[in-house]
Structure 1
Amino acid sequence: MFKHFLFILGVISLILGTLGIFLPLLPTTPFLILSAYCFSKSSKKFHKALLENKIFGQYIRDYQEKKGISLKNKIIAISTLVITIGFSLMKITSPHLKIFLIIVFMGVSIHIIKVKTLN
Structure 2
Amino acid sequence: MPSAPGSRSIGLRSTVYRLLALVCLSAGTLGLLLPLLPTTPFVLLALWAASRGAPELAETLRDHPRHGPLLRGWEQHRAIPRRARILAVAMLAFSALTLWIGGIRGEVLIALLVLFAGIGTWVWTRPDPSERA
Q: TM-score, normalization: structure 2? A: 0.79
- State the 1:52 CA deviation: 1.4
Partner residue, 1:52: 63
Alignment RMSD (CA, Å): 1.7
Q: 1:15 aligns with which of 26, 29, 34?
A: 26
2:114 counterpart of 1:103 = yes
**Structure 1 residues 4-83: aligned runs within 5 Å:** 4-83=15-94
Farther-moved stretch of structure 1 (92-101 vs 13-22): 92-101
- State the 1:67 CA deviation: 4.8
Q: TM-score, normalization: structure 1? A: 0.87
What is the CA deviation profile of residues 53-99 of structure 1, one whole-angstrom value per residue up to 9, with x for unaligned ones? Answer: 22212111111212512223222221222123322321142234313
| Contact kept in structure 1, 2:77 and 2:129, CA below 8 Å | no
What is the CA deviation profile of residues 8-66 of structure 1, one whole-angstrom value per residue up to 9, with x for unaligned ones? Answer: 01100110111111111211111100000000011111001111122212111111212
Q: Larger Rg: 1 or 2?
A: 2
Q: In the aligned structure 2, how far is the partner of 1:113 from the partner of 1:103?
A: 15
2:99 counterpart of 1:94 = no
| Aligned residue identity for 1:35 | A
Partner residue, 2:13: 2
2:126 counterpart of 1:115 = yes
Q: In the aligned structure 1, how far is the partner of 2:114 from the partner of 2:18?
A: 30
Unaligned runs of 5+ in 1: none
| Contact kept in structure 1, 2:73 and 2:129, CA below 8 Å | no
After the TM superposition, which parts of structure 1 deviate over 6 Å for at least 4 consecutive aligned residues? none
Question: Identity over the aligned pairs, expressed in percent?
Answer: 24
